[in-house]
Amino acid sequence: MGAKVKVIHYLNQFFSQIGGEEQAFTKPFIREGAIGPGLLLGQLLGEDYEIISTVVCGDNYMADNTEQAVQEVFDLIADLKPDLFIAGPAFNAGRYGPACGVLSKAVGEKFGIPAVSGMYEENPGAEMYRKHAYIIKTNDSARHMRKDVAKMANIARKLVENIEFSDEDMASYFKQGYRKNLFVEKPGAVRAVDMMLQKMEKKPFVTELEMPKFEDVMPSDAIKEMKNAKIALVTEGGVCSLGNPEGLVASRADKYIEFDISEMDRLSNERFQVNHGGYNNTHANNNPNLIVPLDLMRAYEKEGKIGSIHGTLYSTSGNGTSLANSTRFGEEIAQKLLNDGVDGVVLTAT
Amino acid sequence: MKLQMKNYKVDDVQFSSETLYSDGVLSLDKDALIKEVMAGVEGIEIKLSIAKPGDKTRITHVMDSAKPVYKLNGPTFPGLVDASEKVGEGETLTLDGIAVVQTGSYPGVMEGIIDMHGEGSKYSYFSNTVNLVVEMNVIDEMSSETFAKLSKEIVLKTAKLVALAACDQEPTSVQTFEKNQNVDGLKKVGYVCYMESLGLFRNVYLYGKDTTDIRPKVVHPNEIIDGALVSGNFEIAAHKNPTYFHQTNPIITELCKRDGKELSFEGVILSTERGVLEIKESYAKEIALFAQEMNLDGVIISKEGGGHADADLMLCVKELQERGIDTVITLNEIGGPNGDLPPIVSATPEADAVISNGNNDELITFDSVETVLGGEMINGSIDAKTSFESSVGLVYCSTNQLGVNTMAIKEY
């Protein structure tokens, strides 16, 4: 290797030995070379690596002024052209962990370089930033410093040198949550029977999918005066124009479409159809009002049961749509409805 | 119930002036075969082609696939080709290494492709079989219901007639499926097979009858692998369970293999996935009651489709686990191209033992091909001969949820 790999190391007031709690409001500053745990880190990274500078910041300052502090760190290291950023380890220090995490994410993204930190599993910084940096699982305190820093150095080196991780390497950091396909020796059915036998015998097994946790959606308050309410129609039932000139796909939708229905009494099957891979489309194609009940809503409007019907219909096909797309559709449609003074929505799902 | 599968290994298939099976080579008289299959059929034309592993061929618009079988002294594909009589015992001829693949353009049929070479061929079971491709073309207007049933009968009849070619030959091997009685001290395991039976183009036939309205029921595993269950699912390529994998259901065959050795395989509970929560819950409970009646210690559960199916699966897991019955489920994921989105849409903490057959959304680059069978365009927008990028879920049965493939997933 020619020139040494340039490393920037980050420490808080305590590990940089500038002081204790009374120094927690110290603004970011920079020291040349390695200090404190950085000396050990430099040694473990080996002679091809050089900790050119150490950035130090007080934990409270970073926690209270995060955005500004990150910018100050950027300014301090902008001219140094680092190849690698290492923060901590923070062990179980509750302010130091998120500080290491936020800087690893920010510096890694800003400079396009690998960023590595280390934390105990209960450190809030681990869960907050594991997706955005390589956060090594450490002990809860500095008593096994050498072992923990060695793991950080190992992952850092492999990232810089583009060496594939071993299973042991992969177990050494908090999962970033990216699931990738691969081929294994046994087919799924055989693995299922193997797992069944282990489970029934109360022997260890490892599930191939941890259950995801879903956000609960709280319904909004009830509308008190329906007779004055402006109601919108929104559907994931795949309503599109006849012949689908909008190109609404039947599954994995990447967009929603909108129609002006202000002059319509019902959805005519000469004007609309559906394109949705999740249910039998025949009946809805004959009568699109089965999916979007404009006909009934107009009757309610005439009877005075509701105030009015919003002039725009929003439609997508909700069939295997990604959570990211669904969330975006929901946010955008909701914002448009709010802007238009809509009070309530009949959201038809299939 | 004792079933003997007489297996005939097929290494190659060719069109010829006569139909016969000899030394692993299956010769087919194409014109005679078409004539016999299509006798009495109106409104549909078919074209037969052969696609072999390594051919620079892409099969598009794949609707279903079937394994050639011929039942001796009994009905082949009961209720659809032959009389609707019970199967699962006696002798059945079956050809290994060949699949009859149903394709063609029809409104409402969703895309699914099989690549016989290149990157795409790593992902489908049917990239490694010699495929007799039955391409359907509707020439007279017909209802979707008629097309669904008629096209099914055509494919299954083809599968039967092809297998018949081996009738007077010695099988390569014989496999016996019979419950082992010597199971003292072994844990009792059952299999719950959820089916996506939601009506047209998304249903499953049991003895020729649409299962959309059936309640959960116990069947003998031999019935399923002997042709009682036929797929009518023309929807999402990686989510559906084709007829071929009902006939060779890998969970059933694996449980049969270990029956009397490591476990006691007690039977199959069939259930449909429903669109209404109360019915989902009631079916899950009904399944759990069956499992309790059968004194099961453990149940493996598979599903078909995604979305709604996830909820059925999770409710079933919950009901079984609450009754002290261990569960393992097998599924695939829709975690987005980077695999960082929620992989399923419904979850329960009791589902602590899961087999994942891969993420449908991961992107791969398909190679260009010289020949396309089934239709020239993919999803109406991609020239099927070209190289393009798309999700692995576009590949027919790539992440099949019965656990056919060796695809798995690793979290980074």
Residue B408 in domain: no
Which whole-number Å values give the CA distances from B248 to A99, A207, B227, B356, in the listed order?
Answer: 55, 25, 9, 20
**Is A178–B406 a contact, with Cβ atoms under 8 angstroms apart?**
no
* Per-position DSSP letters for B305-323, written without gaps between them: SSTHHHHHHHHHHHHHHHT
Of A154, A171, A188, the domain-final residue: A171
Same domain, A151 and A10: yes
Alpha helices by DSSP H, listed for B131-185, are: 144-164
Do A46 and A148 reside in the same domain of the chain? yes
Per-residue pLDDT, A325: 86
pLDDT computed for residue A118 by the predictor: 97
Which range marks the domain in which residue B379 is found?
Answer: 3-394
Whether B87 contacts B226, CB under 8 Å: yes
Rounded to whole angstroms, how far apart are CA atoms B346 and B327?
Answer: 16
Tokens of B313: 């699966």
Measured between beta carbons, the chain B residues lying within 8 angstroms of A180 are 339, 359, 362, 409-412
Residue finishing a domain among A138, A171, A204: A171
Q: Tell me the residue type at B167.
A: C
Judged by CB atoms within 8 Å, which residues 212-241 of B form the interface with A?
A: 235-236
Report the alpha-carbon distance of residue A27 to residue A20 in Å, rounded: 14
All residue ranges of chain B with pLDDT < 50 are none
Residue B223, CA atoms < 13 Å, CB-side half-sphere: 19
Return the residue of A nearest to B330 by Cα.
Answer: A192
Q: Which of the four pLDDT bands, split at 50, 70 and 90, describes residue A238? A: very high
* Selected residues 286-315 of chain B with any CB under 8 Å from a CB in chain A: 297-298, 300, 306-308
In this prediction, residue A2 has a pLDDT band, given cuts at 50, 70 and 90, of: low
* B340 to chain A, closest Cα gap in Å: 5
Whether A207 maps to a domain, the answer reads no
Within a domain: B104: yes
* DSSP single-letter state for residue B227: I
Instruction: Label residues A180-209 b or e (16+ Cβ within 10 Å = b).
Output: ebeeeeebbbbbbbbbbbbbbeeeebebbb
CA distance B154 to B136: 9
- Within this chain, do residues A163 and A311 fall inside the same structural domain, yes or no? no
Q: Is residue B411 part of a domain?
A: no
Residue contact B347–A181, C-beta within 8 A: no
| Nearest residue, CB atoms, B354 vs list A170, A209, A281 | A209
Q: Is residue A135 part of a domain?
A: yes
User: Residue B136, CB half-sphere, CA atoms under 13 Å: how many?
Assistant: 31
Q: How many distinct structural domains can be found in chain A?
A: 2
Q: What average pLDDT score do residues A113-138 get?
A: 95
Same domain? For A236 and A90 the reply is no
Question: At A322, is the pLDDT very low, low, confident or very high (cuts 50, 70, 90)?
Answer: confident
Question: What pTM does this model have?
Answer: 0.84
B400 within domain boundaries: no
In a domain, A219, yes or no: no
Which pLDDT tens digit goes with each residue over B249-270? 999 999 999 999 999 999 999 9
The verdict on A167 and A232 lying in the same domain is no
Q: Using the beta-carbon criterion (under 8 Å), do B412 and A175 form an inter-chain contact?
A: yes
**Cα separation, B16 vs B33, whole angstroms:** 11
Query: Among partner residues A178, A185, A211, which is closest to B338 by beta-carbon distance?
Result: A178
Distance CA(B130)–CA(B53), nearest Å, equals 6
Residues of B in contact with A177 (CB under 8 A): 340, 411
A72 in any annotated domain: yes
Identity of residue B37? V
Residue in B187, B306, B406 nearest the CB of A186: B406
Residue A195 domain-assigned?
A: no
Q: Is A309 exposed, middle or buried (0-12, 13-18, 19+ CB in 10 A)?
A: buried
Domain count, chain B: 1
Q: Is residue A95 part of a domain?
A: yes
One domain, residues A166 and A265: no
Residues A154 and A251 in one domain: no
> Which of A180, A188, A212 is opposite residue B330, by nearest beta carbon?
A188
Q: Closest Cα of chain A to B251: distance in Å?
A: 5
Interchain contact, A178 vs B402, CB within 8 Å? no
How far is the first Cα of chain B from the last one, in angstroms, to the nearest whole number?
Answer: 47
* Domain at A70, CATH number: 3.40.50.2300
Closest residue, chain B, to A164 (C-alpha)? B412
Cα separation, A138 vs A145, in Å, equals 8
* B163/B93 Cα distance (integer angstroms): 7
Q: What is the dihedral of CA B68, B71, B75, B76, to 10 degrees?
A: 0
CB distance A196–B412 less than 8 Å?
no
- Residue A99 and residue A130 in contact, taking contact as beta carbons nearer than 8 Å: no
- The answer to whether the CB atoms of A187 and B343 lie below 8 A apart is no
| A211, A320, A322 member nearest B307 (Cβ) | A320
Tens of pLDDT, residues A58-105? 999 999 999 999 999 999 999 999 999 999 999 999 999 999 999 999
Question: Residue A162's domain spans which residues?
Answer: 5-171
Residues A230 and A165 in one domain: no
A55 shares a domain with A166: yes
